[in-house]
Amino acid sequence: MTPAVAEAVKNVLRLPPRERADVAARLVESLDEEVDEGVAAAWDAEIARRIRELDAGLVEPIPWPQARSMILGMDDAPAPS
């Protein structure tokens, strides 16, 4: 890591969590040089479907800490039904 990059990282780490997340998202987005329109359209459709299910009360959202634990395999409890 160059001194300039180390300094940039040091400065970013001083930001509030929300702003650090925004910076991280922008950095990840900058790595995607090509957009696969078919994949983007499929994600748009999936997101719309999930929003409709939430709005209709067909599914119950779970809090992020619980979802994160489930994703990382730290939570053996079944998801709420």
Q: pTM for this one?
A: 0.47
If pLDDT is split at 50, 70 and 90, which confidence band does 9 have? Answer: very high
pLDDT in tens, 17-64: 999 999 999 999 898 778 788 998 999 999 999 999 999 999 999 999
pLDDT score recorded for residue 79: 55
pLDDT score recorded for residue 81: 54
Asked if residue 80 has pLDDT above 80, the reply is: no
**DSSP secondary structure code for residue 73 in this structure:** T
CA angle (28 as vertex; 54, 35 as ends), nearest 5: 75
Exposure string over 8-36, b if 16+ CB within 10 A, otherwise e: eeeeeeeeeeeeeeeeeeeeeeeeeeeee
pLDDT score recorded for residue 73: 87
